[in-house]
Structure 1
């Protein structure tokens, strides 16, 4: 398992931002505290989001740095620090140290340089790094192993995110800053070159300062305003531009007193925190401490989340927002009988299982939380077995008493991530019947793109409450207790809070869902009915040929060793193939291969995209790419999959997630079935290990070109509709139209090009992107695109219509009414706006395809429950359902399942499903 990333916090950036952005809180004596509170809230969010990560909080040290020696006027324009901010620095330092967080403040360099150095050390040690900052200059550090997180904006930037936000890749950010300068830091830049000019210059020249100054005459040919007069300005300020480059470059080789091993978070100093919070008059934080609630790790009770603003819904004024709640602990039969009587009369009840494991196949029930009304909850402990644990009711008897309630079709069963609880109860022979209600899914349907869907985040956002973390009652790390070891004094309020918060969230979320378009229909007819379907499929699992995978691992190991030796021969010496530094030395210093790109630190890039381009002309990069690919395949699949086989069932049981992707598609983990390769021989061999029991075969039923069919439906283009209605090969038909040839004379190359056009355009691909994919000139790619829209004008009209509609509404919808919000559809930044427009075009197709296969799963599962066929639905991957079917029923099953899947939606284009069978998954294609 990959180690958790190193988290590096730009404390100076957050201190200033919190001071200027948040309310000016003061104590009763007038001492300012707002910046301290703001930074602490951000740090607590990071600790919750990265519970296993080492962390450092880095601040600027007073005094001059090496940049002042380079340029005396550096930061000369900055006003002195306000007294109200200066007075908060030392209390903040004390709070950070009391929380157990390493604090770094290094003289002679800035916080940026310390962070840059630690991030480099992390990547060299094989660790990913997360830099938490609000400073745009940090974008230069981003690469495949370093990302930026801005907790104030809920923004995460990887390489693609930097390019979307700034219009340039990370390795061009320093050039960008050098050209336009920085008024805040008094970096001079080139006079007369602002943000737009710098962006146009770097994009147009497709390079950095060296490229620009190496061909100033070419600058005059660029299409933006002022380009013709720009070379004169650039030449006049050449030295100033390169000085600015040095000033803007983050130093990554600082000598530091602390290394990565010094960044582990220590236990908080409770006494110090209590004293500090009393002095700062932080009432809520003090109340949490006195109640035994550490500032710590967030217990994610179901759901996987996307980034969200840490400040959103916080509303903290220093007062505790917690409500009074009556908690009951049920340990005698009389108390249980009283609650059972109330539950029998209720139309709905909320429940939550406390268990020994998050793995639904291994979890044992420790207790049951129940709630009927907000502010009142009960916990039934059943298997707490710590020393001196009180006597508890018999687990089997309690579950039998509750079973009629769970199996009742007259009562709504309410929970957070109900699929987990349903799966655990199934192992006890209990079937939870609909109707169901799930707050995680209600939140997801309400807004799949801008919110987190775990209970704790929803409580903060919608109820303004901070919930108790699991680590607060069970500890964390290697010493973390399982819930059966948690004392009832801590277990009861924790379990009662879960059900109380969930019930209140449901009452808060559902009116919102009902008030937005057809979202209630999406929730009630797709997401909720899918819960038991996924639970059954997960528990069924899939058979795995472990011996085949072991054999493939050995084959891969031998091939990887061969490639390693071949790389050594090509390099002329041995080296670490996983070291970008050593590889760069061989490729660019020793073999003199031309440098295509540089890293933010100025080193020649050996990123995947660069190696793929170099592999067209040089043998060593080609070997490195193959070596990397096979090494990843071995570690991710052939080595890992056998370890995931359940020892009892001897099958693999994945976990499907409904509340992860923005478009509504399912994802899966342990293993991730969605990413198993199919286009390579090695990837197909992995699929060959997914098999069936003796006497059964694998059936794979796959929707054919579903997104193109949805495009035809949405665009109402006559040409596409006709091609599908006549059963034509759509890629060949497009090739005939675009290349002006007869359908029967379309070549294989023409069809492949048409396929790239068909799928590329629905993903918003530009002429530049198509030219790279087809290895043709950009103008030729544009000709193909223009011909496509001439032949299929309805598609072009649809794209224009959906862009305009998305800009007006702020969202797009699937055919079923699922919404995808697009917050950047009207962004001033052109690249971010265009990225949102591409999403607006594609999301209705991806989302509709997701809705269709979910409907198909629900319908097919209901049919399978009738028992006509001896078959199990065992996997869902993209547009494909995979089954394990008795050999004697294969032919009949394939026909019937294809028919049912084809009837899962009513579009103006018929859906087609191809169902094939085999002894393993690959053979069923």
Structure 2
């Protein structure tokens, strides 16, 4: 890179290896070779070094790491970095082979005892500057901004940020020479160096702008008012020490000067050995002089996640041809192509994200890779070229859009279906959706198009914020100039088509995945669209009454809390609650926050509430306050002005188990364990002449456990229609079923559901409030009576460890990236998930199959009944009274027979004027 200042024209490239190491470890997935050795940090660091060498050719280069052991700062301040957790074992195992690989790649490497990597870097950049040599420092550490000057630039490879002198001033609000002062005032939480309490970046910048330097701020402390002024005065004795700790040492005695850091030759044989060991296949192909090949269409079941799934340097789509359709003749020409194509990718650009309200700004199409078109319809910025009238263009495209025989593919087509519906078009012919293809293939990974393009095509796409900006300066897509809009929108269609071509073969070769994708996920998308469009009627007047009543209860609870505390305090202030509970009332501290103060989170309050009255009052207050703010106050504001109903959004590709997620509003989180929570459901009502019907699978996950485990005792209990919790209690407590009392049944219910979620003896003891020994005895007795369950659990753990995933009854694949992690807590959590995921996933599949069957029947019978909600294992319908007997009879039949398990499926049905009454 050419120098932009007077000097030798030479460049020194310094890499903060320790910063790279931790960032790579946490940013990369849990990559491992076939022996289970972790390789993510190694791959991530080497990849960043490769990019740096490409982007910043240098005459001298060095990768600097922190050495083991204490530094001079620990001697100055024993609390320095004291709260940092120990290095994860999986990261520690990668350090030595990473260093070997860095050296073999042709880099100098250094770790110097007694100082930090920052100090080595600071010393070298000063040496180089004296000789007129430019320094590029690759780091993510903000502390190093203090080194920036006309000779020194920072680069951040992960955010593509470059900080020169103006860049530092723009980012921090102060120039590089004031960065130490700035950090001293704000403190550095990462290194455990306190600053001035309650002084953040804004205040620090304000003071330094007003007074010039930290010394001047300290001298003026007496004239600074308010709490922050008082805090500043309290910190005056500490600040000089903080400044010393945060100042990079630039006079370290080094083993060699910067001028000796000419890059050594790469050791290709050593690299080949290391790449083979770590299974970095694309880099191996490079070493062997082969062109990188495409990823295979499918992977063996037992294959772990490897480097080969990720690729190397991302490319862009600059070589593609993207057309802009501005005339009727151009539209006609493209429409002719659309009508002749076997499959077309279609995408929409809109005025917003509210699917019931957003309007079409433009559309894009792709038929073959690297060639796409954008049809602008409503760009309104000054000087925008003439565009086809939206109504005219849609009239021409409508027959193709509504044609079932013309196949379409897209990314999250449920959204586009809504947008077209807003313009009177029923999108048909949906053949594929890349969002769902990605979800079926790898539910544990991100499914947005930018991530998918990078992961599967090795392409860096134009992001939405690059086009419209962000924050207060963000513009609507209708204000984006058409040339930019074409590059962005046409690329979306082009990349989506390419993604489909990459993902589809991987699903096609796995019959289970093909079934889940074609027969469950794609039809579910259509049902969810219909449910979202239907919406649900709200009784807003009732919600207003409930909101007022909750407000009165909150005031009463506040008064009760003040009485229990012996003084008034703010129930919404964690600091004041902490002061009351632990200083005034001297309640025992159960756990601490990362900053070392006593925690007042819900788990702590629940534990304290067992013995003390105030924590219980606080919990009740928080619960009611959340009900009021999230539901009774907010729901009436979410009613659509055109339909008079509330329209939730169901996300299909979020939960790794296949469960749906609901948002805006979240209907799945309405608490039903309190009377106040259940009353919220009373506001979800049927219109006049109709009823709400609720259909809920009974004990579905326990039934799936019986099916999966094949345990004779469980199968027999369900086949005979027994109360499964009573049957389990009879087995565990060794009494006749009719002799089981309510407490024993409660214990059995906790055990039945707890074991599904991998609950330990410790967890069971805590849940039941019994000794751990008794809990262990209950679990042992359970497994003795239901040996098939114990066999299933062990078999599932082993299978998960071997292949990295488990499957539902229907073939949905549930990945467990940390099933072989060396970190015990992560591995145990993955083992618990391995046991539970097939049950949750199968339950998710069943409710989706039920939705599909019910919607198909409603359409076939041409009924007015409509599905309006899906919550957990429950379907909620709005049923005209004249259709009620027919629907109730058929609904149970459909849901009970969507699949044949080894145990019968049971459905509970209820009806009422509102959702709560239907229970």
TM-score higher than 0.5: yes
Aligned 8 A contact 2:315 2:458 in 1: no
Q: Does residue 101 of structure 1 match 2:101? A: no
Corresponding residue SS for 2:688? coil
Partner of residue 154, structure 2: 92
Report the Cα distance in structure 2 between the residues aligned to 1:571 and 1:78, rounded to whole angstroms.
Answer: 50
Distance 1:747 1:530 in 2: 43
- Structure 1 counterpart of 2:822: 828
Secondary structure in structure 1 of the residue aligned to 2:49? coil
Corresponding position: 1:746 with 2:740: yes
Q: Which residue of 2 aligns with 1:395?
A: 390
C-alpha separation in 1, matches of 2:796 and 2:525:
32
Structure 1 residues 615, 545: CA separation in 2 closer, same or farther (over 3 Å shift)?
Answer: same
Whether 1:428 aligns to 2:498 is: no
Give the 3 Å change call, closer, same or farther, for CA 500–586 of structure 1 in structure 2.
same
Output the CA distance in 2 between the equivalents of 1:474 and 1:892.
Answer: 52
Q: Distance in 1 between matches of 2:435 and 2:454?
A: 14
SS of equivalent residue, structure 2 residue 909: strand
For the residue of structure 1 that corresponds to 2:530, the secondary structure is helix
Q: Secondary structure in 2 aligned to 1:437?
A: strand
Q: Tell me, in whole angstroms, the C-alpha distance in 2 between the residues paired with 1:70 and 1:484.
A: 57
Q: Are the counterparts in 1 of residues 195 and 239 from structure 2 also a CA contact under 8 Å? A: no
3-state SS of paired residue (2:917): helix
Q: 1:30 aligns with which of 33, 58, 68?
A: 58
Q: Return the offset for 1:65.
A: 4.8
Is structure 2 residue 784 aligned with structure 1 residue 790? yes
Q: Distance in 1 between matches of 2:619 and 2:73?
A: 41
SS of 1:369's partner is strand
Offset at residue 382 of structure 1 (A): 1.4
Q: 1:29 to 1:523 in 2, by over 3 A?
A: closer
Matched, 1:803 2:811: no
* Partner deviation per Cα, 1:781-837 (whole Å, 9 max, x = no partner): 111111111111111111111111111111100011010111211222222211111
Which residues in structure 2 correspond to 1:830-849 (within 5 Å)? 830-849=824-843
Count of residue pairs the alignment pairs up:
714
Any residues of structure 2 matched to 1:183-332 within 5 Å, and which? 321-332=316-327
CA contact (8 A) 1:313 1:464 kept: no
| Superposed displacement of residue 678, structure 1 | 1.0
User: In the alignment, which of 879, 890, 893 is matched to residue 896 of structure 1?
Assistant: 890
Match of 1:692 among 686, 694, 704: 686
> Structure 1 71/115 Cα, relative in aligned 2: closer, same or farther at 3 Å?
closer
Shift in CA distance, 122/880, structure 1 to aligned 2, threshold 3 Å: farther
Q: Could you say if the C-alpha distance between residues 889 and 79 of structure 1 is closer, same or farther in structure 2, counting changes exceeding 3 Å?
A: closer
Aligned match for 1:568, one of 547, 556, 562: 562
2-structure distance, mates of 1:115, 1:463: 42
Quick check: 1:385 aligned with 2:380? yes
The verdict on how the C-alpha distance between 1:672 and 1:488 changes in structure 2, with shifts beyond 3 A counting, is same
State how far apart, in whole Å, the 1-side matches of 2:643 and 2:63 are.
55
Tell me how far 1:405 sits from its aligned partner: 1.9
Decide which moves more: 437-446 or 736-745: 736-745
What is the CA–CA distance in structure 2 between the aligned matches of 1:739 and 1:71, rounded to whole Å?
54
1:727 aligns with 2:755: no
**Counterparts of 1:34 and 1:548 in 2: how far apart (Å)?**
69
Deviation at 1:316, TM superposition (A): 6.1
How far did residue 77 of structure 1 move?
Answer: 4.1
- Say if 1:826 and 1:114 are closer, same or farther in 2 by CA, change over 3 A: closer
Per the alignment, residue 855 of structure 2 pairs with 861
Where does residue 921 of structure 1 map in the other structure?
915
Aligned counterpart, 2:623: 629
Where structure 1 has 5 or more consecutive residues not aligned to the other structure, the ranges are 1-10, 40-62, 126-250, 259-308
Q: Give the secondary structure class of the aligned counterpart of 2:136.
A: helix
Tell me the equivalent position of 2:712: 718
1:817-873: CA deviation from partner (whole Å, max 9, x where unpaired): 010111211222222211111111000000001011111111111111124432110
Q: Aligned partners of 2:571 and 2:59: how far apart in 1? A: 56
| Cα deviation 1:672-691 (Å, max 9, x = unaligned) | 11111111101101111111
**Contact residue 462 and residue 488 of structure 2 kept, 8 A:** yes
Contact 2:377 2:387 survives alignment (8 Å): yes
Deviation at 1:898, TM superposition (A): 1.1
Q: Distance in 1 between matches of 2:17 and 2:647?
A: 46
Aligned residue among 809, 813, 830 for 1:815: 809
Asked if structure 1 preserves the Cα contact closer than 8 Å seen for 2:751 and 2:779, the reply is yes
Residue 454 of structure 1, CA deviation? 0.4
Maintained 8 Å contact 1:417/1:438 = yes
Aligned to 1:482: 476
Aligned to 1:771: 765
Q: Does 1:678 align with 2:650?
A: no
Of 411, 415, 419, the residue aligned with 1:416 is 411
Q: CA deviation at 1:34?
A: 9.7
Match of 1:53 in 2: none
1:68 and 1:20 map into 2 onto residues whose CA distance is 32
Structure ID, larger Rg: 2
Q: Identify the residue that residue 866 of structure 2 maps to in structure 1.
A: 872
Q: For 2:240 and 2:894, how far apart are their aligned partners in 1?
A: 64
RMSD, aligned CA: 3.4
CA distance in 2, matches of 1:908, 1:816: 14
Does the Cα contact within 8 Å between 1:325 and 1:376 map onto a contact in 2?
Answer: yes
Residues 263-315 of structure 1 deviation map (CA, whole Å, 9 limit, x = unaligned): xxxxxxxxxxxxxxxxxxxxxxxxxxxxxxxxxxxxxxxxxxxxxx9x99876
Against the structure 1 CA distance between its residues 68 and 686, is the aligned structure 2 distance closer, same or farther, given a 3 Å change threshold?
same
The CA deviation at 1:321 is 3.8
Distance 1:861 1:718 in 2: 35
Following superposition of structure 1 onto structure 2, how do residues 486-525 of structure 1 map, counting pairs within 5 Å?
Answer: 486-516=480-510, 518-525=512-519
- In the alignment, is the contact (CA less than 8 A) between 2:316 and 2:461 conserved in 1? no
**1:237-286 Cα shifts (integer Å, max 9, x gaps):** xxxxxxxxxxxxxx9x987999xxxxxxxxxxxxxxxxxxxxxxxxxxxx
- Which is worse superposed, 475-484 or 803-812? 475-484
8 Å CA contact 1:724–1:909 kept in 2: the answer is: yes
Q: Tell me by how many angstroms 1:406 deviates.
A: 2.2
Does the C-alpha gap of structure 1 residues 118 and 870 become closer, same or farther in structure 2, counting only changes over 3 Å? farther
**Distance across 2 between alignment mates of 1:82 and 1:512:** 49
> Residues 147-166 of structure 1 correspond to what in structure 2 (within 5 A)?
none
Inter-partner Cα distance in structure 2 for 1:640 and 1:257: 50
Contact 1:65 1:107 in 2 (8 A): no
Residue 748 to residue 856, structure 1, CA distance change in 2 (3 Å):
same
Change (3 A) 1:665 1:31: farther
Contact kept? 2:692, 2:879, Cα under 8 Å = yes
Are residues 600 and 409 of structure 1, via their aligned partners in 2, closer, same or farther at CA, if it must alter by over 3 Å?
Answer: closer
Partner SS for 2:706: helix
Residue 388 of structure 1: how far off its partner (Å): 2.9
Does residue 438 of the first structure (1) align with residue 433 of the second (2)?
yes
Of 92-101 and 843-852, more deviation after overlay is shown by 92-101
CA distance in 2 between counterparts of 1:392 and 1:323 reads 25
Change (3 A) 1:256 1:437: farther
Deviations 1:160-188 (A, max 9, x none): xxxxxxxxxxxxxxxxxxxxxxxxxxxxx
Q: Is the 8 A contact 1:315 1:464 kept in 2?
A: yes
Structure 2 counterparts to residues 301-380 of structure 1, below 5 A: 321-380=316-375
Q: Which residue, 456, 463, 468 being the options, matches 1:462?
A: 456
Give the drift of 1:434. Answer: 3.5
Instruction: Report SS of the residue matched to 1:700.
Output: strand
